[in-house]
Structure 1
Amino acid sequence: MSSKKESTGRTLFVALAVSLVSSVFVAGAAVSLKPVQIENRLLDKQRSILSIAGIGGANLSSREVKDLFASRITAKVVDLETGEYSDAYDPITFDPLKAAKDPQLSSALRGSDDIALIKRRERFTTVYMVEQDGKLESLILPVRGYGLWSTLHGFMAVKGDLNTVVGFGFYQHAETPGLGGEVDNPNWKAMWPGKTLFDDSGKPVIQIVKGGVDPASPSAGHQVDALAGATLTSNGVDRLLQFWLGEQGFGPYLAKLRNQGV
């Protein structure tokens, strides 16, 4: 009987020891790999910005992405409440998504204020500029909002006139492949360049249209086809653009740029 108890105790001890050692290795691997994961996420974001701005392709190496981003892109932190640039944070390391979870750095959104369904909006965020000879060529704005199954994270690149789309796309989402996931379809993304975002008063007029855009319509210049079979994702994209281009988003910032004649 005692030998059985001893055998059972030894088995439990060995199992516990193996579990403990495995946990230590897993935890150590997670800690050691975290800087690599952060670096890869930053690289993916930079690659997406370059691609949407039309100055870099998906086939660039990691080094090429870093070098091109450093030479062509200027990042600045914007105070969304005032529309002014802020020196309070480093634009390279500041994380707006993390700030959106901090009650000290964000605001809760409720009801009609939260048309993008993001729950909280950060006060500060980072914008990206492509400049040539001191003149703004394009401005890249981060946008996000809820689709059918997930929050879509992306960028809208706008020409220096602050109205004409250069490119639009998402770098992170979990929409249904073949349906909402068609936001990644190159054919759909190719519909965006050249579209206009605002009317003469600065009000957002960009619109996703179910059933397809009528080329003969006077509104065709600011309309894009909805995703086939993905009404809720299309509605989500439409709402997130209305939010981020409006007063709750980049509206005050873009108004200041227009007044400055940028």
Structure 2
Amino acid sequence: EKNRLLFKQENVLIAAGAIEADEKGVTNEMIAKLFEQIDHVIIDQATGKTIEGDPESIDTAKLAKSPETSEATPNEFRRTMVKRISKQLLAYEVHITGLRAIKGLPADDESPDSIHCIVLPIHGNGLWGPMFGFIALSADGGKILGITYYQHKETPGLGGEVNNPSWKAQWPGKTALDESGAPIISVVKAGSVQHPDHEVDGISGATITSKSVSNMIHLWLGDAGFGPYLQTKRTTN
């Protein structure tokens, strides 16, 4: 259980850009220290407001199985195979300062010393099974800072490229939501990007995986997922 929590925390930090995947020198103590500056929050899905409680006691997957504690996923997202969404969601609000010191880097290192963002869990079906990951957004929810998948069954060299650093490097700086707050970010067919502000070049030879990533992000950033929460961030930041 402790290892699973640590693994999840590490991936939250990877999505936020606080550490790199497979970065040398990252210790369990360092991860714990960084997480002292991260608020794990419970969100009321319908209103987007944070609510009191212990996030570690909330099992959103379990809640999503009961009609009493979840809502049916809109039909347009049936391909994600996410049948229901919990009425309570979990998110990470990141307020890290002094990052270089915590990582033991020199003060004049060019890496960021502070990170303020939101990290949201996302999941949905890929080509061969469920994919689980995190997406990091700017504090107002408008821009993407990073994305990572920590569990998937996609084909190595094809759909498995969702975790290729060069593919993930396309995401930071992309616009996540349009002016109305609706998800605008999308993964398009490889080589067909026309709007680089909010389009990510798809993975060559992995059209279904690329579409799956697009669909699940639209689900989780939209009204049925974290949309109401992101709307509160747009109005307060």
Q: TM-score, normalised by structure 1?
A: 0.77
Indicate if the aligned counterparts of 2:118 and 2:136 stay in contact, CA closer than 8 A: yes
Q: 2:137 aligns with which of 145, 158, 162?
A: 158
Indicate if the aligned counterparts of 2:79 and 2:125 stay in contact, CA closer than 8 A: no
CA RMSD between the two structures:
2.0
Alignment of 1:70-149 (within 5 A): 70=36, 72-87=37-52, 89-109=53-73, 111-131=75-95, 137-149=116-128
1:190 CA displacement: 0.7
Question: Which residue of 1 is the match for residue 33 of structure 2?
Answer: 67
Q: Report the residue type matching 1:119 in the other structure.
A: K
Structure with the bigger RCO (C-alpha within 8 Å, sep 6+) is 2
1:227 CA displacement: 0.9
CA distance in 1 between partners of 2:186 and 2:33 (Å)? 35
CA distance in 2 between partners of 1:234 and 1:131 (Å)? 31
Q: Report the residue type matching 2:92 in the other structure.
A: Y
CA distance in 2 between partners of 1:108 and 1:201 (Å)? 24
CA distance in 2 between partners of 1:137 and 1:103 (Å)? 35
Q: Report the residue type matching 1:252 in the other structure.
A: P
Question: Which residue of 1 is the match for residue 206 of structure 2?
Answer: 230
CA distance in 2 between partners of 1:137 and 1:150 (Å)? 32
1:188 counterpart = 2:152? no
- After TM superposition, which residue ranges in structure 1, 4 or more long, deviate above 6 angstroms? none
Q: 1:52 aligns with which of 15, 36, 55?
A: 15
Identity %: 40
1:136 CA displacement: 8.6
Which structure: larger Rg?
1
Structure 2 stretches lacking a partner, 5+ long: 98-113
Q: Report the residue type matching 1:93 in the other structure.
A: S
Indicate if the aligned counterparts of 1:213 and 1:220 stay in contact, CA closer than 8 A: no
**Partner SS for 2:56:** coil
Question: Which residue of 2 is the match for residue 240 of structure 1?
Answer: 216
Q: Report the residue type matching 1:95 in the other structure.
A: D
Aligned length: 218
Greater share of helix: 1
1:132 CA displacement: 5.9
Indicate if the aligned counterparts of 1:165 and 1:194 stay in contact, CA closer than 8 A: yes
Q: TM-score, normalised by structure 2?
A: 0.85
1:113 CA displacement: 4.9
Q: Report the residue type matching 1:94 in the other structure.
A: I
Indicate if the aligned counterparts of 1:158 and 1:164 stay in contact, CA closer than 8 A: yes
